[in-house]
Chain A
Amino acid sequence: MNQVKRMITKNAVPLLFAIVCLLGIYFAKMPTQFLIMEVAKRLARNSFLVLSLIIPVVAGMGLNFGIVLGALAGQIALILSTHWEWAGLGGLGLTALLATPLAILFGYLAGLTLNKAKGREMITGMVLGFFANGLYQFVFLFLVGTVIPFNNPRLRISTSPGLRNTIDLKLIKGSLDGIWQIQYGFTKLPMVTFGVIALLSVCLWFFFRTKLGQDFRAIGQDRHIAGVAGIDTNRNRVLAIIMSTVLAAWGQIIFLQNIGTLNTYNSHEQVGTFAIAALLIGGATVTRATITQALTGTLLFHVLFVVSPMAGQAIFGSAQIGEYFRVFVAYGIIAISLALHAWQSKSLAKSSLEEDFSVSG
């Protein structure tokens, strides 16, 4: 009995959201087939991005709002690959390969910045994302076609500078999803994409059992003790951010090959918020995140995303209410879990502050 109780308190957040989802499904009266189709599609699209958040959490750097930088690296690679007309699975692989050095560079710069803002990594990462977005827009909306010569009619309208607002990715659309699909009712399950996600999960699981992974864990537990034990904390923190950024770049490429069109100027904007909300709904916190939490969270968040407009229509007579409700949930869950985390660590910090006093005094 006690065990059941502990299970429930430990998984309170995902259980609560599971109930909300079930209520939503009940009220929305959605055809089951449609629900399964939508959710499977979204799981294939988003899981990789959500998994990319885990490493920095374990390394004690909190939720990496800077994965936007990784998404940008992925998009830059996609723009170039469209320009060079890389097609099919090979093209997709080349694109991912092209995105990697970019993501490593961005992640390196982000890691250096975050090392200058210890204790404020999350807000700094978030602002860094906004800042990088500004630079990205500056380059692709102004410099391309004016300073940078670029005259591909599929990417540009020759009369004005900058890239088109939407870029058709038909050359690589579905190149990963389409390799092997299992038909289930109306739903085509993209088995290879799920396979890639499973592979990443296994790799992450394995990674945390290597020396480097254990170092990350140690730093996440206590940076000072890890430093005293001879771990180069600053270097490892940069490494953690680089890994997360590279994974996010690949994740964004997988996301966009599923969607098939790139909204040049806003495909990446909500990447951080939605991925983080999904991770937190799975029961992760600022200091603890597991692969299971990431995957359950993605599932619950996207069920909620699919059912809320129709549930809003059924309950309040307005689909818009449901749409705003899901945005509210995304922001609200982040606010609540950040507040809970700060609340808990404050009481910890307080006791260590008192220890400081007694030692120095």
Chain B
Amino acid sequence: MKDQLGKVYRAIGLPRLIISLFLLALIFVALGTELSVADLLSDSLVRVGMNGIFVLAMVPSIQAGVGLNFGLPVGVICGIVGTLIAMELSLIGFGGFFVALGLAIPLAIISGYLYSLLLNRVVGQEMMVGTYVGFSVVAGMCIFWLLAPFKNPAMIWAIGGSGLRVTLTLADNFAGVLNSSLAFKFLGLNIPTGLLLMLGLVSFLLWLFFRSKPGVAMEVVGRNPRFAIASGLQLNTYRSLGVVLSTVLGAVGYVVYAQSFGFVQLYMAPLMMAFPAVAAVLIGGASTKEATVLQALIGVVLFQTLLTVAMPVTNQLIQGNISEIARVIVSNGMILYALTRTTGGEQA
């Protein structure tokens, strides 16, 4: 009995255990207040769907041995550009959504490939370099947003007639197309079926990829580079493939995120977008060296539910918005835990 408990404990791991228990406690507290737990859980479902693909984007880069992709904003920016072009053309509904995706994905493939060329030259420091490449891209794109030749009056500043606004609404384009399609109510929960199907589809495709030949090869490259070389695998090819996949998922993730959020936020808004995704995949039980699709999904469910439930519940108990601070502490604490857990030997 004790052995079995120990086994279960090891399988779950301490961080996941703490967070699950904390989450349960929060839901338990919520039951005692006048908050509607069904509403809280409905909100959580939406947030899981919104953020899920960003978290999945971490899996290929970790599996390819590049580590956590802190350069996720590279993909996010491609998603933003795709969305903006669809808006500029005043496309609505699913048409707009798919045009945004269709533009974002090729852009992400190109920029992901370029990004991977850099990462392949900085083996061992990918996370740090990636973080600052992401920051630079976001800051550099701020200049682009000011100068970009967008003409749609709904998108640019009314005064001066150029430069994109800070926050653009997607309400007239494709806000909520996935969230509302096939949505239904079940036990008081609003199920955003389309959104969850999209997340399921992407997860399934990624899962399938890791069962294909290149997927398995990528895992070997990430797990044991020397063995991979001995087996005749090209390290850099598979590392690039992992980074490109991750960047594409970042771009797709953004389009899905924006349609659910209903707004596109420009300028410095995408700066820290990698961090919640990184934290979520780690909370799901991944390390900097190993991650699975299932861990990403568990992670996003735990992390996003925690954030959604924590805010209204703690608002009942203490004043002020603690959710933002909880996000900062939990996510960065989790990343710290992962970075310090495996010393990776005495690597310089």
Q: Interface on A for B, CB 8 Å cutoff?
A: 113, 116-120, 122-124, 126-128, 130-131, 133-135, 137-138, 141-142, 146, 160-162, 223-224, 316, 318, 320-321, 324-325, 327-328, 330-332, 334-335, 338-339, 341-343, 345-346, 349
| Residue of A118, A324, A328 touching B347 (CB-CB under 8 A) | A118
| Residue of A316, A335, A342 touching B147 (CB-CB under 8 A) | A316
Q: Collect the chain A residues with CB atoms within 8 Å of residue B348's CB.
A: 118-119, 223, 345, 349
Contact status A134-B328, CB under 8 Å: yes
B 129-180 contacts with A by CB, 8 A: 129, 131-133, 135-136, 138-140, 142-143, 146-147, 163
| B128 touches A (CB below 8 Å) | yes
CB distance from A263 to the nearest CB of B (A): 16
CB distance from B282 to the nearest CB of A (A): 11
Contact status B339-A338, CB under 8 Å: no
Contact status B329-A138, CB under 8 Å: yes
- The docked-state distance in angstroms from the alpha carbon of A140 to that of B63 is 40
Contact status B127-A123, CB under 8 Å: yes
Nearest B residue to A318, CB-CB: B146
Q: Contacts A117-B340, A134-B325, A134-B332 hold; do A141 and B142 have CB atoms under 8 A apart?
A: no
Interface residue stretch chosen among B90-98, B118-126, B191-199, B244-252: B118-126
CB distance from B299 to the nearest CB of A (A): 17
| Residue of B128, B322, B343 touching A122 (CB-CB under 8 A) | B128
Q: Contacts A160-B319, A318-B163 hold; do A338 and B132 have CB atoms under 8 A apart?
A: yes
How many interface residues does B have (CB within 8 Å)? 44
Main secondary structure of the interface of A (DSSP, over half): helix
9 A–B contact pairs at CB < 8 A?
Answer: A117-B343, A118-B347, A134-B325, A146-B318, A327-B142, A331-B132, A334-B132, A335-B136, A342-B124
Nearest B residue to A352, CB-CB: B348
Contact status A127-B339, CB under 8 Å: yes
Contact status B131-A113, CB under 8 Å: no
| B29 touches A (CB below 8 Å) | no
| Residue of B133, B320, B328 touching A130 (CB-CB under 8 A) | B328
Q: Contacts A332-B140, A334-B132 hold; do A324 and B332 have CB atoms under 8 A apart?
A: no
Contact status B340-A124, CB under 8 Å: yes
Q: Collect the chain A residues with CB atoms within 8 Å of residue B335's CB.
A: 127
Q: How many A-B residue pairs have CB under 8 A?
A: 140
B 68-118 contacts with A by CB, 8 A: 70, 118
- The docked-state distance in angstroms from the alpha carbon of A127 to that of B274 is 12
Q: A113-B340, A117-B340 are in contact. List 6 more A-B contacts (CB 8 A).
A: A142-B318, A162-B320, A325-B143, A331-B136, A341-B125, A345-B348
Contact status B123-A342, CB under 8 Å: yes
Contact status A119-B336, CB under 8 Å: no
Nearest B residue to A114, CB-CB: B340
| Residue of A138, A223, A327, A335 touching B129 (CB-CB under 8 A) | A335
Q: Collect the chain A residues with CB atoms within 8 Å of residue B127's CB.
A: 120, 123
| B13 touches A (CB below 8 Å) | no
- The docked-state distance in angstroms from the alpha carbon of A130 to that of B133 is 18
Contact status A339-B332, CB under 8 Å: no
- The docked-state distance in angstroms from the alpha carbon of A262 to that of B195 is 44
| B6 touches A (CB below 8 Å) | no
Nearest B residue to A222, CB-CB: B348
B 327-348 contacts with A by CB, 8 A: 328-329, 332-333, 335-336, 339-340, 343-344, 346-348
Contact status A342-B122, CB under 8 Å: yes
Contact status A327-B139, CB under 8 Å: yes
Contact status B339-A124, CB under 8 Å: yes
Q: Contacts A142-B325, A342-B124 hold; do A131 and B320 have CB atoms under 8 A apart?
A: no
Nearest A residue to B335, CB-CB: A127
Contact status B320-A142, CB under 8 Å: yes
Q: Collect the chain A residues with CB atoms within 8 Å of residue B268's CB.
A: 327
CB distance from A175 to the nearest CB of B (A): 33
Residue among B127, B139, B333 with max Cβ neighbours from chain A (10 Å): B139
Contact status A338-B320, CB under 8 Å: no
Q: Contacts A124-B339, A137-B328 hold; do A338 and B125 have CB atoms under 8 A apart?
A: yes
Closest 4 A/B residue pairs (Cβ): A342-B122, A134-B328, A335-B132, A342-B125
Contact status B131-A126, CB under 8 Å: yes
Contact status B121-A131, CB under 8 Å: no
Q: Collect the chain A residues with CB atoms within 8 Å of residue B129's CB.
A: 335, 338-339, 342
Nearest B residue to A131, CB-CB: B332
CB distance from A42 to the nearest CB of B (A): 20
| Residue of A133, A320, A327, A339 touching B146 (CB-CB under 8 A) | A320
Contact status A160-B320, CB under 8 Å: yes
CB distance from B288 to the nearest CB of A (A): 9
- The docked-state distance in angstroms from the alpha carbon of A138 to that of B147 is 39
Q: Collect the chain A residues with CB atoms within 8 Å of residue B267's CB.
A: 324
- The docked-state distance in angstroms from the alpha carbon of A328 to that of B127 is 19
CB distance from A114 to the nearest CB of B (A): 9
Contact status B340-A339, CB under 8 Å: no
